[in-house]
Structure 1
Amino acid sequence: MKYLIALMALVVLSALVCSCSESTDPMPDPEPEDRDYVLLVVDPDAGSNGEVIVVDPVTGEQEVLVSGGYHWYGDLAEGRNGLIYCTDPVNGEIDVFDPSNGEFSVSVSGGHIRPFGLCGIAVDDAGALLVPVHRVQNTAVQLLRVIPGNVDQEVLSAGGQFYDLYDVKVSGAGAVYVSGSSIQNRRPTATIFQIDPETGAQTVKHLSASGYEYRQFDFDRSGNIWAVEDQVRVVKIDATTGSSTPMTVDLDSVFYTGIFVGAADEVFVSRFSTHTLDRGIQRFDRDAGTWVWLGQRDNFMGPEGIIAVDRSRVGGSM
């Protein structure tokens, strides 16, 4: 994540009502391989102060869906109600918007959610938001369960083996995983944990042989993990052997900040660089074993989180 580390006072606990109703009634949740979808990509550095950009996963066509104003988006997830929830790391809040029209407001702030402490976000089977709160100086590292549009916040898991946390995913079977780091041999080591959704118990699923932290990750249909390690490389972790294979070449001034694996195992990464033409979204070409660019790279400043949403739910011309 590309935001300053600072200590700020916790804002007053609030849960502002979104102009789009935050009903917990679930939307249809199909994940067919022939799903007609678009990518939603958050770019906290684009526009005035952050944008959500729609990207066609085949043609690379792009369109701005949400212009954040003073909201700095980090990651996003689709709620069971069809709304999109975004972490705002700088302001320390979770925002929500309707993908059909781009209208957004603050869903949750305050409590355990603090400025500069948010990263990933996911939605569990009950429709609650799962949010890792990462290390800011000596503050607590924990995984929160948050009810959308409500003041209810529960610490699902904290302490234990956590050294830092960044991302969270919920599998199709309802299992909860978080990525970050633990202390191994007296140093931070990139770690993926499985979390018991009832007790919060932590189980180490994977330890990196050399990396310090896993920023973002996702699973393919075979259970393999695709992860961003230390922001400088993408690795694929074999579900059976646990072996890690680099899928990118380390390059100076190139940073990987988000990853998404689709229902048909298509893999997308967001990439940031000090060089304009090295910023944007890439798709992995399995036949060639290489990464290909999607659309115009100079539309992005610093893309991060990526999700897929059914095309029919997203407004605009695409």
Structure 2
Amino acid sequence: MTAENAIPAGTILLSDSEAFGCQGAVHMVDPGTGLQAFFALGGDLVGATGIAVEADGNVVVTKDRQYPGTGTLLRLSRSDGKTTQRVVSSEGNFVAPCAVAVEGNGNILVADLSSKGPGAIIRIDPVTGDQTVLSVSDGTLDPLRPGGVCVAADGTVVVVEQAGPVPEPAAPRVVRIDPVTGVRTVVSAGGAFVSPVDVAIDHDGNILVVDANAFTGSSGGVIKVDPVSGAQSVVSSGGSFDSPTAIAVEADGSLLIADNKAKTGEPTLFRVNPATGAQQVLASGLPFRALTGVKVVPAA
């Protein structure tokens, strides 16, 4: 992406599976004013799920096969003021891609809820689109419906997993995956987790989990997990949250939470103070429709 087409650092990007008559979209939100705009609309974006930003500034988005087409990883790039869409990888091991992250070497990781049965983490070559399964269920409890995925500073892959459809499902959990062997280690399980849906790492290395139903009245919130002990603590819950879906961390450490209902009934982007848990509405309502992922454009 050339300098004149680069998205300014700090810009907030949100994937939306159903914007503007179920066309799908990637929204841009100004972090200062909350002003909403489109980065991309329509095309293959119907059913958009996860979103991530590559080192060159291009945007990658996953798409669920339940919508028209197949499970797909798209790359969005801007040229001459227009955004183009290109399929990086599709079909193969993809069944229900739900989240995406970019590794330090440029490889792309896709969490798939149903690949290989109960789910898998799939690594994608960013040039060829070749797929390699990094971590896969053993057919029983491991892993359990992988959801959000992110990459820690040391290259370790961190995934949230909901309890799976088995006779006696284990508790929802956060797992750490070795990026070379694919071996999984449980970091934290049970506790406040009910429906963990996304995960991010803060600037201190803590794991932040957004859970759609963890608190009183099935209201969602943000739970911090100590990466060493697995101890959980509540960052923010209740308030204006209803069904949060995604989380990202801004350069100053503030948290961004996407929520498809909020207490107003409108899809909403919140900014949360990580120290106090205070919630601030940054942007809300149309053209937001069904927010599925949020990311912040990093500094070049």
Post-superposition shift, 1:110? 1.3
- Partners of 1:251 and 1:296 in 2: CA distance: 16
Give ranges in structure 2 of 5+ residues lacking alignment.
214-219
What's the CA shift string for 1:183-204, capped at 9, x where partnerless? 7993342211111111111111
Letter in 2 for 1:124: E
Matched residue, 2:56: 81
2:121 is the counterpart of 1:139: no
Q: 2:253 aligns with which of 265, 274, 279?
A: 265
Structure 1-normalised TM-score? 0.77
1:8-47 aligned at under 5 Å gives the runs 36-47=9-20
1:130-279 aligned at under 5 Å gives the runs 130-135=109-114, 139-160=117-138, 161-181=142-162, 186-231=168-213, 232-239=220-227, 241-250=229-238, 254-273=242-261, 277-279=265-267
Post-superposition shift, 1:299? 2.9
Maintained 8 Å contact 1:188/1:212: no
What's the CA shift string for 1:136-187, capped at 9, x where partnerless? 7x82411111112424211111124212101211112212111113679933
Q: Which of the two has greater strand per residue? A: 2
**Gap change, CA 1:207 and 1:288, over 3 Å in 2:** closer
Letter in 2 for 1:86: V
What's the CA shift string for 1:81-130, capped at 9, x where partnerless? 3311100013310111114532112221011012xx11110111221111
Letter in 2 for 1:74: T
Maintained 8 Å contact 2:212/2:221: yes
**Gap change, CA 1:233 and 1:295, over 3 Å in 2:** closer
- Partners of 1:185 and 1:211 in 2: CA distance: 19
Tell me how many residue pairs correspond in the alignment.
278
Maintained 8 Å contact 1:141/1:159: yes
Give ranges in structure 1 of 5+ residues lacking alignment.
1-19, 22-26, 28-34, 314-318
Q: Which moved more, 1:289-298 or 1:216-225?
A: 289-298
Identity of aligned residues (%): 24
Matched residue, 1:15: none
Q: Considering Cα pairs closer than 8 Å and 6+ residues apart, tell me whether 1 or 2 has the greater RCO.
A: 1
Q: 1:306 aligns with which of 290, 294, 298?
A: 294
**Gap change, CA 1:164 and 1:237, over 3 Å in 2:** same
Structure 2-normalised TM-score? 0.82
- Partners of 2:182 and 2:229 in 1: CA distance: 26
Maintained 8 Å contact 1:189/1:210: no
> What's the secondary structure of 1:119's corresponding residue?
strand
Matched residue, 2:104: 125
Q: Give the CA RMSD over aligned residues.
A: 3.0
Post-superposition shift, 1:285? 3.2
Post-superposition shift, 1:252? 10
